[in-house]
Amino acid sequence: MKLLKWCAVLLTAALCLPAAASLAADPVKVSVYQSVSDAGIYIAADKGYFAEQGIAIDLIQLDSVSSVVTALASGQMDVAGGAPSAAIYNSARQGIGIRVVADKGSMQKGGGYIGLVVRKEMADKIKSPADLKGHNVAWSGVGVGTTNEVALDHLLKSAGLKESELSLQNLTFGDSLAALASGSVDAAYLIEPLMQSAEQRGIGKILVTGDEMYPNQQVAVLLFGPDFAAKRADVARRFMVAYLKGVRAYNDAFRKDIDRATIVSILTKNTSVKKPELYEKMVMPGLNPDGKVNAEGMTADMQWFLSRGFLKEPVDVAKVVDNSFVDQAMKQLGPYK
Amino acid sequence: MSDQEEVIRIIGASEHRPSLWARLTGSNWFMAIASPVLMLLLWEAASRAGLLDRRFFPAPSSVLGELVALTASGELLVHVGWTLQRVAIGFCFGAVPAILLGLVMGLSPGLNALLRPAIAAIYPIPKVALFPLIMLIFGLGETSKWVIVAIAVFFQVFFSTLAGVMNIDRIYLDVAVNFGASRWQAYRTIALPAALPFIFTGCQLGLGMALIVVVVAEQFGTKTGLGFMIWRSWQIFEVRDMFVALIVVALLGYGSQLAMMSLERWLVRWKPRQGREQVGT
């Protein structure tokens, strides 16, 4: 009888173990933008990669890099996606130990998901970037130290133009498309799916994509908060494994056509691109399946921000970029094939 | 013994000479300076003691250093110049029609009945909320910034002027009628002088409102002005520059109030001076 009682206790304990494990999962607060470049996070969450690593993620939406920096520094957020703009380097200069830990969107060849679209009526006149001289051009994030400005500088240099030779309109991506459609501007810098939408709707023609403008430009990165990276390093390492698995599932879907329908349904559910058919037409953001960022390009960008007064002193990019989490995850996952 | 010595002896016998501390705390200018200085000292102490996170709330001494550097480079002065220009132009566009309309409506019950409901209905709309509509109508350039400042100033000055005219003792207007004063004479010699103290109060409030809206307006379609500086500093996470711009906006607000009060003292000489009265009592 006693033996039977012990068996019952053991059986109950065994049944309760999974529940206990899920209760003990490490909570991680993650900031997202609802953009397609957040795919690695959404896929890892939906496919249970975070749960596999004993992590319970809480997704919160923030709208600017400065909000992200504040939230990460104060510990309100553990992980965030964000553009490596001047704000990231300034926060590092001011001793806020935010770390750039992985790629979350880069202009890999064929992955130029932001580009310049010329208004249909002007397509005969503006056939190359050099023809933009004297025209109204909509560009998002001018004057506030964004990666978009660095891309613009690359475009202008390649065309032998100066910024003063264009009439730049600082508009959001959404407003830029509206301005292009109404004829207020002759060209607009647009992100996907707006870039394809402009072409599909007969509003404009793509002149140059981001991967041609500035190859391998680091447009978005994954950031770890200082406390998360230092005090919860084990959780951070597990997070990276799950994240890279998500990124690899994304690459499998869009490079190799593996499980594409499932991935598209995850993205339509979570991102701002809600129509599945758009994923067949748009240029998908480049997400490095091996995680590493383009630190060389980021150093050049930092120098550009410095030269334009967005930074007061140079920052050692090697101290901002922390590859240790990606390196650990790669040991477990191996290189992407 | 001279008369003067006699006076001093009499006062000395009746009450003690106030201490330096009592004289300072009784002085308006000392109290006006003491409160912000005390606040800055507390901030500095809290920052140095680590009670405030210096990365987000830099010590006033470091903000002051940044203010000096930005002034020396000329960058701050350019932004201040643009903001002051927008406030000045917008203020004139708002205050002049507000004073004229307030005077006319105050003396004309018919016009008052006709226009006041419409103006009172528009007044509660937050002026900043109108900015997208103003940009739609006037574009992204300077005009939209002048217009939003003018609107913000208009209501403050208009309602103050109207109140000033409507509070005029009826007997003054009756005397003017009895002596055959023209409408213009009634405006110039009765309505305007009587409403001037109210107009100045409205102008002071209007200037404060002008600074509030211009800082918001400068976050759109421009690369100059203190509002742009605050927005840009936030976007690039340059916290000390943001504090510099905020402090300069506060100083401009305070300075403009003092300037308006001096102008009022010079123009409205019959108005009793509150400061002197207090010192005298």
pTM: 0.75
In the predicted model, what is the mean pLDDT of residues B228-242?
90
Residue A273, number of CB atoms within 10 A of its CB: 18
Name which residue leads in pLDDT, B128 or A303. A303
Q: Which of A85, A94, A310 sits opposite B239 (nearest CB)?
A: A94
Q: How many CB pairs under 8 A join A and B?
A: 44
Lowest mean pLDDT segment, chosen from A121-125, A202-206, B27-31, B272-276? B272-276
pLDDT of residue A9: 59
CATH of the domain at A289: 3.40.190.10
Kindly state the tokens that stand for A9.
């206790």
Kindly state the tokens that stand for A114.
């932001």
State whether A208 and A224 are in the same domain.
no
- Cis bond leading into A335, ω under 30°? no
Rounded to an integer, what distance in angstroms lies between the CA atom of residue B203 and that of residue B252?
15
Rounded to an integer, what distance in angstroms lies between the CA atom of residue A259 and that of residue A255?
11
pLDDT tens for B100-119 read 999 899 888 889 889 888 98
pLDDT of residue A19: 47
Kindly state the tokens that stand for A31.
């900031």
- State how far the alpha carbon of B150 is from the alpha carbons of A29, A221, B82, in Å: 45, 44, 16
- State how far the alpha carbon of B267 is from the alpha carbons of A162, B192, B261, B270, in Å: 53, 12, 10, 9
pLDDT tens for B196-227 read 889 999 999 999 999 999 999 998 878 899 99
pLDDT bucket at A315, cuts 50 / 70 / 90: very high
State whether A120 and A181 are in the same domain.
yes
In the predicted model, what is the mean pLDDT of residues B36-42?
88
- Report the complex ipTM: 0.71
State whether A150 and A120 are in the same domain.
yes
Rounded to an integer, what distance in angstroms lies between the CA atom of residue A140 and that of residue A163?
14
State whether A96 and A233 are in the same domain.
yes
* DSSP for A89-111, written as a single string: HHHHHTT---EEEEES-B--TT-
Give the total number of structural domains in chain A.
2
Of B47, B57, B63, B235, which to mutate for an interface test with A (greatest number of A Cβ within 10 Å)? B235
pLDDT of residue B223: 85
pLDDT of residue B7: 54
* Domain-terminating residue out of A213, A237, A259: A213
Helix, strand, coil shares of chain A as percentages rounded to 5?
50, 15, 35
Strand partners, A169: A138
Query: Are the Cβ atoms of A64 and B237 closer than 8 angstroms?
Result: no
State whether A253 and A128 are in the same domain.
no
Q: Tell me the residue type at A106.
A: S
In the predicted model, what is the mean pLDDT of residues B34-45?
87
Residue A235 has pLDDT above 60, yes or no: yes
Q: Is B221 on the interface with A (CB under 8 A)?
A: yes
Q: Is residue A188 one of the residues assigned to a domain?
A: yes
* φ, ψ dihedrals at B105, nearest 5°: -70, -30
Residue A50 has pLDDT above 80, yes or no: yes
Rounded to an integer, what distance in angstroms lies between the CA atom of residue A236 and that of residue A28?
9
State whether A123 and A262 are in the same domain.
no
Q: Is the separation of the CB atoms in B70 and B130 below 8 Å?
A: no
Query: Are the Cβ atoms of A143 and B55 closer than 8 angstroms?
Result: no
Kindly state the tokens that stand for A228.
């998360």
3-state secondary structure of A333: helix
A309: CB partners within 8 A, 6+ apart: none
Q: Which residues of B touch A73 (CB under 8 A)?
A: 55-56
Residue A20 has pLDDT above 60, yes or no: no
Name which residue leads in pLDDT, B11 or A119. A119
pLDDT bucket at A324, cuts 50 / 70 / 90: very high
Q: Which of B221, B235, B237 sits opposite A91 (nearest CB)?
A: B237
State whether A223 and A306 are in the same domain.
yes
Q: Which of B140, B221, B238 sits opposite A90 (nearest CB)?
A: B238
Residue B21, number of CB atoms within 10 A of its CB: 8
pLDDT tens for B136-156 read 888 778 999 999 999 999 999
Residue B278 has pLDDT above 50, yes or no: no
Name which residue leads in pLDDT, B96 or B192. B96
pLDDT of residue B191: 82
Domain that holds residue A179: 114-213
Domain B63-280: assigned CATH number = 1.10.3720.10
Relative to beta strand A114-119, strand A204-209 is antiparallel
The CA distance from A100 to the nearest CA of chain B, in Å, is 16
pLDDT of residue B147: 95
Q: Is residue A57 one of the residues assigned to a domain?
A: yes
Residue A4 has pLDDT above 50, yes or no: yes
Name residues 134-193 of chain B within 8 A of A (Cβ): 140
Domain ranges of chain B: 63-280
Residue B6 has pLDDT above 60, yes or no: no
Q: Which residues of B touch A169 (CB under 8 A)?
A: 140
Q: Is B235 on the interface with A (CB under 8 A)?
A: yes
pLDDT of residue B279: 35
Q: Is residue A18 one of the residues assigned to a domain?
A: no
Q: Is the separation of the CB atoms in A248 and A43 below 8 Å?
A: no
Q: Which residues of B touch A170 (CB under 8 A)?
A: 221
* φ, ψ dihedrals at A56, nearest 5°: -110, 110
Residue B9, number of CB atoms within 10 A of its CB: 10
Rounded to an integer, what distance in angstroms lies between the CA atom of residue A213 and that of residue A145?
18
Which residue of chain A has the CA closest to B69? A312
Q: Is the separation of the CB atoms in A216 and A151 below 8 Å?
A: no
pLDDT of residue B190: 83
State whether A102 and A118 are in the same domain.
no
State whether A90 and A133 are in the same domain.
no
Lowest mean pLDDT segment, chosen from A45-59, B165-179, B239-253? B165-179
pLDDT bucket at A100, cuts 50 / 70 / 90: very high
Lowest mean pLDDT segment, chosen from A139-143, A309-313, B19-23, B243-247? B19-23
* φ, ψ dihedrals at B220, nearest 5°: -125, 135
State whether A237 and A305 are in the same domain.
yes
3-state secondary structure of A52: helix
* Domain-terminating residue out of A213, A246, A279: A213
- State how far the alpha carbon of B224 is from the alpha carbons of A47, A69, A87, B83, in Å: 48, 25, 20, 8
A162: CB partners within 8 A, 6+ apart: A156
Q: Which helix (H) or strand (E) holds B269?
A: none
pLDDT of residue B277: 41
Name which residue leads in pLDDT, B221 or A226. A226
In the predicted model, what is the mean pLDDT of residues A120-143?
89
Q: Is residue A14 one of the residues assigned to a domain?
A: no
Q: Is residue A16 one of the residues assigned to a domain?
A: no
Rounded to an integer, what distance in angstroms lies between the CA atom of residue B204 and that of residue B125?
20
State whether A179 and A325 are in the same domain.
no
Q: Which of B55, B221, B237 sits opposite A66 (nearest CB)?
A: B237
Q: Is B56 on the interface with A (CB under 8 A)?
A: yes
Which residue of chain A has the CA closest to B238? A90
pLDDT tens for A184-204 read 889 999 998 888 888 888 899
Q: Which helix (H) or strand (E) holds A140?
A: none
Closest C-alpha among B236, B224, B221 to residue A146: B236
Query: Are the Cβ atoms of A66 and B239 closer than 8 angstroms?
Result: no
pLDDT of residue A172: 84
* φ, ψ dihedrals at A201, nearest 5°: -85, 5
Residue A154 has pLDDT above 50, yes or no: yes
State whether A198 and A119 are in the same domain.
yes
Rounded to an integer, what distance in angstroms lies between the CA atom of residue A183 and that of residue A193?
20
pLDDT tens for A262-293 read 999 999 999 888 888 888 888 899 999 999 99
Q: What is the mean pLDDT of chain A?
A: 88
Residues in chain B: 281
Query: Are the Cβ atoms of A90 and B223 closer than 8 angstroms?
Result: no
* Domain-terminating residue out of A191, A213, A235: A213
